[in-house]
Amino acid sequence: MASKESKVLNIISRRGIFFQSFSIYKELGGFYDYGPIGVKIRNNIKEMWRKLFIDLTQAIEIESTDIMPEAVFRASGHLSTFTDPMVRCKVCNTAYRADKLLEEFYEKRHDLKAMDEVKRLSLEELSKRIKEHGIRCERCGGELGNVEKFNLMFQLKIGPTGTETGYLRPETAQGIFVDFRDLFKTQGLKMPALIGQIGKSYRNEISPRQQLVRMREFTQMELELFFDPSEELSEIGFVNIDNVLDTRLSFVNAGENKAVDASLRELLESKKIPNKYFALLLYLEERLMQELGFEKKSYRFRELEKEELPHYSKGNVDLEVNTEYGFIEVAGNAYRTDYDLSSHSKVSGVEITVVNNGRKFVPHVVEASMGLDRIMFALLENSLVTGDRGWDWLKLREAVAPYRYAIFPLQKDEKLIAKARELARLMAEKGENIIYSETGSIGKRYAKADEVGIPYCITIDYQTLEDDTVTIRNRDDAKQIRKLIAELLA
């Protein structure tokens, strides 16, 4: 029997939801392009994120450059610390992430304890275990060398002389940090100040794999919340944080594997999360996951152990979704303190401070960083329905689905086609998200609409010509009702 992964990948491949970039040339891992259905779903997820993280919180949204000078990443710490452990094959020179090789080795043996230990191993310990377990090159079977650090940033030369070094940004956050001083002045911001951004990030992954899970070019949706660490307000935009603290999460404590049910209030009281602002970010993510249509049991929030923390963080909670690949991180929430603004101030020589209640200080930051590509992949897999009607299909929420309506003439009859096209035009002008098709049998068109998650199919048949009614088929139960066209257009 085909796995859930293979079934959803079959739909993705056949319908061109996403596909390998520049596939007519030699394959280069970690790069994917999106077809029209994929773009529609991605845009819908972006807008749902904006409604919660930007509109509801009254954050401002910016767009910063993908390319930044070396000084930015010297200040941020990425030049010295943004690394992964790499091991190369001595025969064919293929590179692998050493920690992932070991984790996969232990996972196959169901040794969860050893799998959990991997993140705490030094480079020397990683090398030793790879040799002890006889782990060899997946491509040629050759012996693997010693593990070493590999910096994940893409370096480039700026300008015709090649003397100015730059990098493709590894996170969108740095654009927000270096723009903070100007934004605070020009936008009249006050503490706490919220700044968001959706944009591309780039990481030169050692061994990209698992489709959209580990990519070299990907999209992030990030919100940085700047605040005065000496005060804690409850009103952020249109959210009263005190009123949402009873929101319950599936939460995994650091060093544990089993999730517990805990409220944001309980997590605050037990100091699992640092402040109310951090609680707000988790609330927004929990709400987004529900609105996207994830089942509560399919995801969890996990407190990171000290050894897992990024160099800039004083505490992290990741949002993870259960997939055929296991739990994958789709969002990282970090308490970055004043690390970034202080570092940029020191390296640039430009003071980055604010005055609040007569006190001058460097703002602290909590961050919610969500990976759009991973969220989309996890959502497609978690939305798959199999075995109920002869074809596999995606049960996507209306807000996420690529189209709300598919409009079909019953047959290739000129009168039916003319009526169907006129209805499609009127609905498109009305602002409805529709797609029109007259190719194939009506049954096959229903199946094609189902498999990409279109909630409703409107069919123009011969009765339509008599009484101006159409059939509307519901994707979830395949039941049909008749409705006046005038009601659809009202």
The CA distance from 202 to 68, in Å, is 12
- pLDDT tens-digit readout, 421-470: 999 999 999 999 999 999 999 999 999 999 999 999 999 999 999 999 99
Residue 146 corresponds to which tokens in the numbers above?
A: 């010693």
Closest Cα to residue 221, out of 72, 312, 331, 66?
331
Burial (Cβ within 10 Å: 0-12, 13-18, ≥19) of residue 358: exposed
Alpha-carbon 480 to chain mean position: 35
When pLDDT is averaged across residues 152-164 and rounded to a whole number, the result is: 91
At 57, the pLDDT band (50, 70, 90 cuts) reads very high
Residue 4 corresponds to which tokens in the numbers above?
A: 């859930």
Q: Is the pLDDT of residue 135 over 80?
A: yes
- pLDDT tens-digit readout, 7-27: 999 999 999 999 999 999 987
- pLDDT tens-digit readout, 336-348: 999 999 999 999 9
Paired residues of 155 in beta bridges: 167
Paired residues of 331 in beta bridges: 319, 370
What per-residue confidence (pLDDT) applies to 285? Answer: 98
Residue 52 corresponds to which tokens in the numbers above?
A: 């919660």
Burial (Cβ within 10 Å: 0-12, 13-18, ≥19) of residue 251: buried
When pLDDT is averaged across residues 215-220 and rounded to a whole number, the result is: 96
What per-residue confidence (pLDDT) applies to 1? Answer: 56
At 395, the pLDDT band (50, 70, 90 cuts) reads very high
The CA distance from 54 to 59, in Å, is 5
State pTM to two decimals. Answer: 0.92
- pLDDT tens-digit readout, 321-366: 999 888 999 999 999 999 999 999 999 999 999 998 899 999 999 9
Q: Is the pLDDT of residue 305 over 60?
A: yes
What per-residue confidence (pLDDT) applies to 28? Answer: 85
Domains parsed from the chain with CATH numbers? 4-68+171-384 (3.30.930.10), 86-146 (3.30.40.230), 403-489 (3.40.50.800)
When pLDDT is averaged across residues 310-331 and rounded to a whole number, the result is: 92
The CA distance from 32 to 377, in Å, is 12
When pLDDT is averaged across residues 156-182 and rounded to a whole number, the result is: 94
Closest Cα to residue 294, out of 344, 249, 360, 234?
249
Q: Is the pLDDT of residue 210 over 90?
A: no
Closest Cα to residue 17, out of 465, 316, 453?
453
With residue 234 as reference, give the H or E element that holds it.
none
The CA distance from 458 to 472, in Å, is 5
When pLDDT is averaged across residues 306-330 and rounded to a whole number, the result is: 91
Q: Is the pLDDT of residue 482 over 90?
A: yes
Residue 458 and residue 488 in contact, taking contact as beta carbons nearer than 8 Å: yes
When pLDDT is averaged across residues 33-42 and rounded to a whole number, the result is: 98
Residue 324 and residue 5 in contact, taking contact as beta carbons nearer than 8 Å: yes
Alpha-carbon 323 to chain mean position: 14
With residue 325 as reference, give the H or E element that holds it.
none
Tracing tokens 């006889």 back to the chain, one arrives at 134
The CA–CA distances, whole Å, from 202 to 71, 89, 313, 328, 343 equal: 17, 25, 20, 19, 22
Which of 37-46, 107-116, 343-352 bottoms out in mean pLDDT, i.e. has the lowest? 107-116
C-beta contacts of 12-21 below 8 A and 24+ residues apart: 12/211, 12/380, 15/448, 15/451, 15/452, 17/41, 17/380, 17/452, 18/211, 18/212
Residue 46 and residue 422 in contact, taking contact as beta carbons nearer than 8 Å: no
At 146, the pLDDT band (50, 70, 90 cuts) reads very high
Tracing tokens 């807000």 back to the chain, one arrives at 399
Mean pLDDT of the chain: 94
